[in-house]
Homo-oligomer: A and B are copies of this chain.
Amino acid sequence: MIKTTTTNKTIKVSEVTSVGTANEPFELPDGVLRGLSIDNLIFGLDGSELKVLLIKRGEGIKTGEWALPGGWINNNENLRDAASRLLSDLTGVEHPYLSQLKTFGKVSRFPAERVVTIAYYALVSADDYALTAGFSASEAGWFDIHHLPSLVFDHHEILDYGIKHLQQEIRHHPVGFKLLPEKFTLLQLQELYEAILDKKLDKPNFRRKIMKMKLLSDCNEKQQSVAHRAANLYRFDKKVYQRLTQQGFTFEV
């Protein structure tokens, strides 16, 4: 479902890895803020595995080590725009659900000098990802959150925080739908929740719970080319959700 593709595009991660000498400011590209960076957590769903997008650092310190895709903020650029640009450069995803996660600023989290980083996170669907060919397979890849390589700096801490945040949020807000294609089956939805909450759910009960919320609209379409009875396809009805939310409804799985 999620695959890495090979192109001739190069990720510019060199900015993040440049290191100055001991007593002078380390080298930065022109026109960016000093001491402040952005790191993105990009989650995707591959079948029933929750995956995160990592890049392999190409030059400078920590070469060859895995890291969250991030970079510097331009002087005249708003934070979310910077996160969005960096995400787009790395994955080709142009309009994701992208929200600020948390700012990490331990004094010595970055070796060369003090850098505070603002973490953003995005949930992308296989659909969105199919549009993209923004990075080389040798430099980036999707990793099962249960089988991660070791990461640079405090990126493990950021990722752990992001996963916990996602697990919390997915129980109380219908963000899970972002990880699925526009049209999906109830089993796909269930598997998504099982992957993120990391537990098995009862099929009949899950179906009833979801359908009772009336948040799904029937596409009146069936799955194609499956070696079993074709399931009905549904889409998430954002308008109904907004209406119910205003009436005090709270989503919960």
Contact = CB atoms under 8 A, between A and B. Distances in A.
Interface of A: 33-36, 73, 75-79, 100, 102-103, 105-107, 114, 116, 118, 171-172, 250, 252
A106 B103 CA distance: 15
Contacts of A102: 100
Contacts of A114: 33, 75
A33 B35 contact: yes
Query: What's the number of copies of this chain in the assembled complex?
Result: 2
A118 B79 CA distance: 12
Contacts of A106: 78-79
Contacts of A103: 79, 100, 103, 118
Nearest to A82: B105
Contacts of A78: 105-107
Nearest to A100: B102
Given A100-B102, A171-B250, A172-B172, A107 B76 contact: yes
Nearest to A81: B107
Contacts of A36: 35-36, 116
Given A35-B36, A36-B36, A76-B107, 18 more contacts: A33-B114, A33-B116, A34-B34, A36-B116, A73-B105, A75-B114, A78-B105, A78-B107, A79-B105, A100-B102, A103-B103, A103-B118, A105-B118, A116-B118, A171-B250, A172-B172, A250-B252, A252-B252
27 contacts: A33-B35, A33-B114, A33-B116, A34-B34, A34-B35, A35-B35, A35-B36, A36-B36, A36-B116, A76-B107, A77-B107, A78-B105, A78-B106, A78-B107, A79-B103, A79-B105, A79-B116, A100-B102, A103-B103, A103-B118, A105-B118, A116-B118, A171-B250, A172-B172, A172-B250, A250-B252, A252-B252
